[in-house]
Amino acid sequence: MKAGLPKLVFVLSLAIASMVQFHVSPEVPQAAASEVAPSALADLHSGERGGPGSGLPTCAPGVEFLGFSDALNKTAFGGFDVVELSGLTYDRRLGTYYAVADRAGPVESHVFTLDIPVAAESVGVPSIMGVTVLKDAVGTPFNGSTFDGEGIVLTRHNEIIIASEGGSAADQQPGIRRFSLGGDHLGELPVPAKFLIGRNNLSFESLALSPNGHGLFTINEGPLAADGRTADLRSRLRIIHYEDRGGLLEPVAEYFYLTEPGRNVSDVGAVEMIALSEDDLLVLERGFVAGSGNTIRIFRVSVEDAEDVSGEPTLDAPGLAPVVKELVVDVANCPSAGATSPQVQPNPLLDNYEAMALGPRLPGGRRALLLMSDDNASPTQVTRIVALAVPTRDLVGDDDDEDGGNGD
């Protein structure tokens, strides 16, 4: 972490509005202290606890949540079904969000504009405000054959950058593209050759922009063939670090990231990130096994002293160490709060959470942190938004004069 920047600490608070979309549960399961790294616990307890939500039910020591809503589930807007929402970013100047929908066959690729009202101790009813079709360089709309939007960020220049795992057509490749807010194609970012692995569902699922807009990060969801997995099914992944070089974002380094063990070979992947500074990240790990349900965990990572592994042909090599990570919260330990699930889950609040973004400032010196699930247009999954809150003064790089426009 850079000198002079405060450490991130997390204090999340629960209060659920008494309306149809929100539910209250008298039972509040607590997380065992052993499930959080000791240094993460120290950070969680080092911040101010006197905000409006202090003393409310917890997901882990010091970690509370504001509530959830299923109001967008299986709805439609502007001729598009509100399904498969995979990335989320916040426009703090307008107080709105942009959510990108991932690959959907012949459906035109699109971004929804959302209103997600977050109050001091609750989350209101989210709604769709608009929809924008994404177009290629000649003005033809992308679709599921040519684009698979997954991660999204908003820049201080009012551009959106979207990571794609590649369309379903045989000649498609993962990529990162720039668009205007009107959906016009503005260009592509260079992608290191090792990540051009053809159409797939395990590449660029995430995207994170540093608060000052100088650094951009993504991570492959699943391991490259040369990197593989450990014996206990931890995926060896690569965080790609882009830097602004004279107005152009260029890849400058890669860092070794190791996931939690999987229950099977396809279980755990890294699906979203938030950049808190040029060095500090939040990483969302999502797992799923049919008949057992999802795992959803958020980790804090610093790449300040991490080794650049961009020149390493494989991460399965002696002497290579992954970045150190600390568990912030395991969402399975949150109160279910009356949530229901159409499939087996260890906690019915869980679903296929793939999107994560910082939201507005809240009373008491806090800021919203939102999770959103991708329902895969499936009757067994739900489009759900969960709202958390963190102390603003403890977010690295959260100064007004350094904000990249979206807080991601």
Q: What is the DSSP string of 57-97?
A: -EEETTEEEEEEE-TTTTEEETTEEE--EEEEEEETTTTEE
Please identify which residue in the block is written with the tokens 């790609």. Answer: 240
Between 403 and 362, residue with greater pLDDT: 362
Length of the chain (residues): 408
Give the pLDDT confidence of 179-219 residue by residue, as tens digits: 999 999 999 999 999 999 877 777 899 999 999 999 999 99
What tokens were used for 126? 């989210």
User: Can you give the pLDDT at residue 367?
Assistant: 80
Q: Which residues contact 292 (CB under 8 A, 6 or more apart)?
A: 263, 344, 346
CA 37 remoteness from chain centre: 21
- 396 pLDDT band, cuts 50/70/90, is low
Express as a percent the part of the chain with pLDDT over 90: 68
Q: What is the mean pLDDT of residues 297-302?
A: 93
Q: What is the pLDDT of residue 368?
A: 84
**With 90 as the cut, is the pLDDT of residue 328 above it?**
no
Average pLDDT over residues 284-294: 97
Residues 6+ apart with CB under 8 A from 310: 192, 251, 253, 254
Please, what are the domains in the chain?
33-398 (2.115.10)
- Our CA dihedral for 85, 371, 186, 253, rounded to 10 degrees, sits at -120
For 10-67, how does the pLDDT look when each residue is reduced to its tens digit (9 = 90+)? 333 333 333 333 333 333 333 322 233 333 323 332 333 334 545 667 777 666 788 9
Please report the pLDDT score of residue 9 as a whole number.
Answer: 37
Q: What is the pLDDT of residue 203?
A: 87
pLDDT (average), residues 279-306: 95
Comparing 237-251, 277-291, 323-337, the range with the smallest average pLDDT is 323-337
What pLDDT is recorded for position 10? 39
pLDDT at 40: 35
Dig out the tokens for 18 from the structure: 């008494």
- Whole-model pTM: value is 0.85
Given a cut of 80, whether residue 385 has pLDDT beyond it is: yes
Residues 126-147, mean pLDDT to the nearest whole number: 96
pLDDT top residue among 308 and 24: 308
